[in-house]
Structure 1
Amino acid sequence: MRMSRGISLFLLAFGVWSWIIWTTFVGNLWDSDDAWTADGSPTSYFIVHLVLAIVSLVLGTIIGVLGLLGLLAGRRRDHESAKPGQS
């Protein structure tokens, strides 16, 4: 399957955006008063949102890697098509 350069860039940007947003969210979650009980153990609120963030980071990484692979494949195709004597 071939992806256009625009789609590849979009997927890569989505992966980067996902990392920026979710790492910021996890930092804020960690510092939240709602994340910890009085004895210092995590609340269910913390656990649910941490799982959500981890899943989102994994999916964002996969999507970003697909975008990067699409860009690299496009460059490889462009490079091969630019060689003299080939059509």
Structure 2
Amino acid sequence: MKLSRPVSWFLVAFGVWSWIVWTTFVKNLWKDTSGLAFHHGDHSAPTAYFWIHLTLAIVSFLLGTAIGVLGLRGLRALRAEAANAAVTATEKQSARVDADA
């Protein structure tokens, strides 16, 4: 399967966006003083809300990373394909020059 350049860049951007959003979320979750994440603000007593949202964040980090890596691999494959096409074109040009001589 071949990814286009725009799709590859979208996947990379999604991966980066995912890390930005969920890192901010986890920081805010850790700072929570409302009693949702920790009983009475005590960090040694996390609630179910904390564990569920931390699990969501971890899964999102993993998926964002996997999606971003797919985008990077797509971009690398496109770059390699362009380099191979340039080498092939140079070889054809060189063969024509040799045939004309």
Q: Fold match, TM over 0.5? A: yes
More helix by share: 2
Task: Look up the match of 2:91.
Answer: 85
Task: Look up the match of 1:37.
Answer: 39
Q: Distance in 2 between matches of 1:29 and 1:78?
A: 45
User: 1:30, CA displacement in angstroms?
Assistant: 0.5
Q: Distance in 2 between matches of 1:79 and 1:41?
A: 56
- Root-mean-square deviation over aligned CA pairs: 1.0
Which structure would you say has the larger Rg? 2
Which residue among 50, 53, 67 is the counterpart of 1:49?
A: 53
User: 1:71, CA displacement in angstroms?
Assistant: 0.2
| Bigger Cα displacement from structure 2, 28-37 vs 67-76 | 28-37
Q: TM-score, normalised by structure 2?
A: 0.81
Q: TM-score, normalised by structure 1?
A: 0.94
Alignment length (residue pairs)? 86
Identity across the alignment (%): 57
| Bigger Cα displacement from structure 2, 31-40 vs 41-50 | 31-40
| Amino acid of the structure 1 residue aligned with 2:91 | G
Structure 1 unmatched ranges of 5 or more:
none
Q: Which has the higher contact order (CA 8 A, sep 6+)?
A: 1
Structure 2 unmatched ranges of 5 or more:
93-101
User: 1:35, CA displacement in angstroms?
Assistant: 1.0
Greater than 2 Å deviation, 4+ residue runs: none
